[in-house]
Structure 1
Amino acid sequence: MITKPFLFFLFCGIILCVSCEKDLPTYLEYEEYSFTGLDENGGTWKPVLFDQVSSITLEAPKEITSQSYKAEVTALKSAIGQMTDSQRESLAYWGNNPVVRWNEIALELIAKYNIIPGPNDDDSYTLPSPATPDGPPGFPFAHPPYAGRALAYLSVAQFDGLIAAWHYKYRYNRKAPYQQDTSISFAYEPNTLPSYPSDGAVLARVSRKILTALFPLEATYLQELEQNHLESLGVSGANVASDLAAGSTIGDAVAQLALTRAASDGMKNAQTPKAVSDSIKQAAFNRFGWQWENLELPTRPVGLTPLFGKVKMWNVTNVEDVRPVAPPAIDSESYLKDVQLLKDHASNMTEEKRRIANFWQDGLGTYTPPGHWNRFANEFIVEHKMNPLRAARTLAYLNMAVMDAGISCWDAKYYYHYPRPIQTIPGFKTIAGTPNFPSYTSGHSVFSAAASEVLAYIFPEKAELVRNWAEEAAISRVYGGIHWSFDATVGTRQGIEIANYTIHKAQADGSD
């Protein structure tokens, strides 16, 4: 007998086959480059997770005249002399800005785990749980809110870790081995960045720990990646063993701070039992006289993360301060105008509208809308030849804004509980699926507007480009029939407002 779970996963498999061709993360190839600057004052920048860099302690390194350091240099030369083809490939892969590579690894994992948990034979649902990650179903379900949160914690931990690394690099100012000994070759473009502690080791350790907590079934894979990264650093010519150990020490300390915050940010309560979900739905009906009904097939009994809007934000004090105005009442003039607008789009669907709807779909098996904007950011980072600290700063502010935007959007979704077009327009059909959460406001619009504003701040020459992309992402959901036009326009304003909180914080971190 063919069971319901079998049909469900067959359906998901079809979606994955279509979406993976476009949206699975790809290896970003680029020529090795000289950093446009080293940000020598980077150790004075304001971190996110702690108040003072001095709270991350690191002992002074051994003098370069000491026997222990000389022994480390001898070991480094020996390792370089015995370098294997595999190690050379690793050097090429990680490059001199591994912030990009670890971000790509996160995108890969998000895409892999962006699969809806299926129903049991009796129509009940078992939710993924970090307490039993093997499931079934496996943990996590890397939906857009989960993806945005994962990228935020990874990027913030990387940023803070590198601020601490820069602080001690220029405090102790130990030259890299290849700068001291001309017989040691350097794998990348030379620079004068001090070697102690190793910034690469900070990234390897903190990234592995954060991603392992978020994707526990990938622990072995991530451990192997960390070891591979550290091994490549050990033959790059930039670091000796004590540099790597010091970087790992910083990575451990910062990862613990990030994971402590994550444990108490409210995410564990975001996916609610049915009784709670039903009470949220009833409260909206009592307020407004409408409520969203889930029309996906097969139907899950609970919407996606009803209490994600209660998760702790990074740069907004109170989510209610940024809650948008109420959507139009059902059967009001504004509502009826939008009904006609959606019908017109559906009746006059062009190849260009369909292309836009498909390009921004970012559905199951993809790295989701937050991942889409991280991909853009990685390309800009390489184009601008940023050093690792500057790159980490870019992704940290981008992803804090994206996570805050998602929290604000989900607060509005479940506070207003507004129906989707497919629910209230008789016979209406979408070309982009049926999400299992309320309509107002559009997640694509809020995520994209917030991301584009942060990227416009960091890359002002890209401002028009990224804002146009955000507008296209917003209208794509209207073309797809998933959202009302006011979901998109109000959501865009909402994302911009959220981004301004993050940009204000960035402007005061000492980096400009």
Structure 2
Amino acid sequence: MYNKISTLLWAIALVVLASCEKDTPRYLPYESYAYSELDENGGDWTPVLHDSGASIPVDAPESSDSQAYQAELADLKADMQSMTSEQKKAVKYWTNNPTIRWNEVALELIAKYNLIPGPNADGTYTLPNPSNPEGPPAFPFAHPPYACRALAYMSVAQFDGLISAWHYKYQYNRAAPYQQDGDIDFAYEENAIPSYPSDGAVIARASRNILTAMFPLEAEYLQGLEEEHLESLRLSGGHVMSDVTAGVAIGDVVSATALARASTDGMSKAQTPKAVSDSIKQAAYDRFGWAWDNLEIPVRPVGLTPLFGKVTMWSIDDVESVRPIAPPQLDSQEFLDDVELLKDYARNMTDEHRRIANFWQDGLGTYTPPGHWNRIANEFIVDYRLNPLQTTRTLAYMNMAIMDSGISCWDAKYYYHYPRPIQMIEGFETIAGTPNFPSYTSGHSVFSAAASEVLAYVFPEEASKFRGWAEEAAISRVYGGIHWSFDATVGTDQGRAVAQYTIDRAMADGADQ
């Protein structure tokens, strides 16, 4: 049964990849909106990777009555008068909170590259190689650990960049073009945020740089998006070219800092050779008397990223400090009770349980569980009318927590190396195969609990809703036969505990003052 499911998923993923190449989707149907607040002191908030908003030097702009600035205004008005329909469409698309759009671009790419490499004709496997991104197979395989890391680095770079932008906006206090010249119409809702440096340009350059590093085959596509976005910043009537240029410079600095950290965070060693993978498995067997086995045909020689649990965390120094308790012994009553629970769910699958399992599946060809929570966050960001700085803060802390929780989860997975239900229950069938890594704890549960706690902190009025969704995501894996119930319950506690470190950090950054 498992081999048939694996083959089916492989075929579906190929179809998804082909469709993404033809037409990448746009997710959230929102337009520009008036911000609920401006956060004039946002430039004083504490960044994640930089010392302060002032640590990136930005020269003072030309005064608004200078000949140089007046020439920029004249150029802008001329360009706006000759706008094409496509340019007008682009201005509308990018909106006055383009962080969400770049987040959606990242989700598109994650879905496009969330394609597990299939076997070679001789039954061996070739892994994606960043030194040869064209493959085959193409690099990357955007599995959940890869996805959460890409989203975290992009979001952190965006957040640090906008703290710097906010610092200089209110230091230099140069009004936007439409406020300088009554003949210039602004495409979005008016606000009093100074235009220099352009926050949108920071987002465009930082996002383009991070995503190009994470998805190298998309360099041309991402360059085109950035060029369209930067042009739209001017054609909206909100910025002159010097605003944009200053924002791009900040984006280059923050993305370089983020990518420097990424280059030494240990991710390059997360996917291990077979000998290392075998030694991890043997250590777990010696320790506990059990080990997870891959049941695919042909068998994959190595599990997915056995050393992702060694990657540098954002807010926790020692991953072992948040390692959960050991799972039940395989001859314990707790384990035997869970066997019967999963058999009962499988025998009495209800429409509601199947709906929940399918809704939270987030498997191959999707933007993964971390992406699912980014999609949720984007909706509430728009509903609550967060400004761009608040938006980057929300996504940065949420994705930092998701990545830290994923690292903690993978540490537990390969330390305990616990078998999955399909391995331990004779004749057991799942709804959609089983992932290529150990069972305990559930990644869906950990990712979802961490994300929900950060969102509950940002949107306290919605806390019960977020936590309810996280618990549904966790139980979905039990309904689907992918996980034991204790994988889900302990994983949920684990994600919440890990997220608290991020929330403590957020509460000290100055934004709540």
Name the TM-score, length of structure 1 as normaliser. Answer: 0.96
Offset of residue 186 of structure 1: 0.4
Task: Provide the rounded CA distance (Å) in 2 between the counterparts of 1:59 and 1:304.
Answer: 47
Change over 3 Å in CA distance of 1:19–1:376 after alignment to 2: farther
Whole-Å separation in 1 of the counterparts to 2:45 and 2:18: 39
* 1:203-262 CA-partner distances (Å, limit 9, x unpaired): 110000000000000000000000000011121111111000000000001010000000
Q: What letter corresponds to residue 232 of structure 1 in structure 2?
A: S
In the alignment, what sits opposite 2:227?
A: 227
1:261 corresponds to: 261
The residue identity in structure 1 corresponding to 2:505 is: K
Q: Can you give the 5+ residue segments of structure 2 that lack an aligned partner in the other structure? A: none
Contact 1:19 1:364 in 2 (8 A): no
Distance 1:462 1:357, change over 3 A: same
Q: Secondary structure at the match of 2:110?
A: helix
- Paired residues of 2:52 and 2:164 also in contact (CA < 8 A): no
Question: Given that residues 123 and 298 in structure 2 are in contact (C-alpha distance below 8 angstroms), is that contact kept between their aligned partners in structure 1?
Answer: no
How far is 1:26 from its partner?
4.0
Q: Which amino acid aligns with 2:343?
A: K
Match of 2:10 in 1: 12
Residue in 1 aligned with 2:437? 437
Partners of 2:212 and 2:31 lie apart in 1 by 30
What is the CA–CA distance in structure 2 between the aligned matches of 1:344 and 1:138, rounded to whole Å? 41
Give the drift of 1:14: 2.7
* 1:108 alignment partner in structure 2: 108
> Deviation string for 1:33-56 (max 9, x for gaps)?
110111100100000011122220
Q: CA deviation at 1:16?
A: 6.2
Q: Counterparts in 2 of 1:26-105, with a 5 A limit?
A: 26-105=26-105
How far off its partner does 1:136 sit? 1.2
5 Å matches for 1:400-411? Answer: 400-411=400-411
In the alignment, which residue of structure 2 is the partner of 1:4?
none
Letter in 2 for 1:479: Y
Distance 1:348 1:237 in 2: 60
In 1, Cα distance between the equivalents of 2:298 and 2:196?
A: 55
C-alpha spacing 1:25/1:283, structure 2 compared with 1 (3 Å):
farther
SS in 2 for 1:234: helix
The residue matched to 2:235 in structure 1 has which SS? coil
User: By how many angstroms is 1:27 displaced?
Assistant: 2.5
One-letter amino acid matched to 1:12: W
Instruction: Give the structure 2 partner of residue 3 of structure 1.
Output: none
1:135-214 alignment runs, 5 A limit: 135-214=135-214
Residue pair 1:8, 1:118 contacting (<8 A) in 2 also: no
What pairs with 1:319-330 in structure 2 (closer than 5 Å)? 319-330=319-330
| Residue aligning to 1:338 | 338
Task: Kindly indicate whether the alpha-carbon contact (under 8 Å) linking 1:19 and 1:366 is maintained by their aligned counterparts in 2.
Answer: no
Deviation sequence 1:447-476 (CA, Å, 0-9, x none): 000000111110111111111100100000
Query: Structure 1's 198 and 148: CA in aligned 2 closer, same or farther, altered over 3 A?
Result: same
Aligned equivalents of 1:411 and 1:243: distance in 2? Answer: 45
Secondary structure of the structure 1 residue equivalent to 2:358 = helix
Q: What amino acid sits opposite 1:481 in the alignment?
A: G
Q: What is residue 243 of structure 1 aligned with on the other side?
A: 243
Q: Tell me the equivalent position of 1:218.
A: 218
In structure 1, distance between residues paired with 2:464 and 2:274: 44
| Conservation of the 8 A alpha-carbon contact between 2:31 and 2:95 | no
1:387-443 CA deviation, whole Å, 9 max, x = no partner? 100001000011000000000000000000000011111111111211110000000
Distance of 2:142 and 2:331 partners within structure 1: 36
Contact residue 53 and residue 165 of structure 2 kept, 8 A: no
Q: 1:215 to 1:444 in 2, by over 3 A?
A: same
Q: CA deviation at 1:97?
A: 0.3
Query: For 1:350-369, what per-residue CA distance to the aligned partner results, in whole angstroms no more than 9, with x for missing partners?
Result: 11111110000000000000
* Local SS of the residue matching 1:152: helix
The corresponding residue for 2:132 is: 132
The residue aligned with 2:122 is: 122
1:454 matched to 2:451: no
Contact 1:15 1:364 in 2 (8 A): yes
- After TM superposition, give the deviation of residue 372 of structure 1 in Å: 0.4
1:467 aligns with 2:460: no
Structure 1 runs (4+) deviating above 6 angstroms are: 7-10, 18-21
Q: Is the 8 A contact 1:398 1:451 kept in 2?
A: yes
**What is the count of residue pairs matched by the alignment?**
505
Partner of 1:367: 367
Residue deviations 1:77-116 (CA, integer Å, cap 9, x gap): 1011111101100011100100100000000000000000
Question: Is residue 500 of structure 2 the alignment partner of residue 500 of structure 1?
Answer: yes
| 1:384 counterpart residue number | 384
In structure 1, stretches of 5+ residues that fail to align are 1-6
Alpha-carbon separation, structure 2, partners of 1:308 and 1:508: 28
Separation (CA, whole Å) in 2 of partners of 1:95 and 1:236 = 9
Q: Is the 8 A contact 1:369 1:448 kept in 2?
A: yes
Partner Cα separation in structure 2 for residue 225 and residue 356 of structure 1: 35
| Native 8 Å contact 2:10 2:118 kept in 1 | no
Once the 2 structures are TM-superposed, how far is the Cα of residue 9 of structure 1 from its aligned partner? 7.3
Note if contact 2:313-2:403 (Cα within 8 Å) is conserved in structure 1: yes
Residue number in structure 1 paired with 2:313: 313
Q: Structure 2 CA distance, aligned partners of 1:492 and 1:10?
A: 30
Q: Give the AA of the match of 1:14.
A: I
Q: Percent identity?
A: 70
Cα distance in 2, alignment partners of residues 18 and 305 from structure 1: 24
What corresponds to 1:291 in structure 2? 291
C-alpha distance in 2, partners of 1:479/1:17? 27
Distance 2:25 2:288 in 1: 41
DSSP-derived class of the 1:171 partner: helix
Q: Compare 47-56 and 360-369 and name the one that shifted more.
A: 47-56
Using structure 2 for the length normalisation, give the TM-score.
Answer: 0.96
Q: CA deviation at 1:10?
A: 6.7
Mark the CA change 1:229 to 1:403 in structure 2 (over 3 Å): closer, same or farther. same
Decide whether the 8 Å contact of 2:31 with 2:92 is kept in 1: no
Measure how far apart 1:72 and its partner are: 0.5
